Amino acid sequence: MRSKSTELMGQISNYIGDYYRQHHSTPTTRESASAVGLSPAAGYKYLVEMDKRGMLSYENGEITDLPKINKTPTGYFSAPLVGSIRCGDPETEEAEVEMYVSLPEAIFGKGEFYLLRASGDSMEDEDICDGDLVLIRKQPDCEVGDIVVALDENSENTLKVYGGIDKRTKKVILKYANEAVYPGKRILVGELTVQGVAKHVIKAL
């Protein structure tokens, strides 16, 4: 191969960028070569040349840096998974980030989100079951019928349906959503801080 095609370099660069955005890692030499119709040996020579031109870093047969390739996952956001929350009586929880999950804006929308792992059975009528991941949009307000992460005056949190204000006691109503197990059950709290509203449920089928 006497000369290197700049068009092929561009194709390799695009492939590596797309691969990185999808897998959060770089492809192998063989994968990069195969993607543009080159043999592994020819792909190796192209990657060496791209390294010389500062398009990427290629050391010991591995692509280690992509200075001129867009690595940013466009249309995605990272939501921290901050542990479990009771779908039952309020329970004190400390948020500890377990991992960050990349999610597409096209499906889940834009905003500031976090994920919670549901624990308990009190929200099953809303299709939230034990072990499901619930995507929460951070916001301080809510409307009647919203599924909220509620922090009460005792700094205890729970996942419940916001039921408005009880006319008799003037307290906030947090409703269970499992009529078969907890018919008509609700919690009344004097003070309520909304830590977010549930927008999506991610579960295994």
Active site residue 5: no
Active site residue 160: yes
Which phi and psi angles does 16 have, rounded to 5°? -65, -40
What is the number of H-type helices and E-type strands within the chain?
4, 11
d(CA 75, CA 113): 14
Q: State the catalytic residue, choosing from 160, 167, 171, 203.
A: 160
Q: State the catalytic residue, choosing from 122, 155, 171, 199.
A: 122
Residues whose CB falls within 8 Å of the CB of residue 185, separated by 6 or more in sequence, listed in order? 122, 175, 176
Contact 183, 171 (CB under 8 A): no
User: Mind telling me the catalytic residues?
Assistant: 122, 160
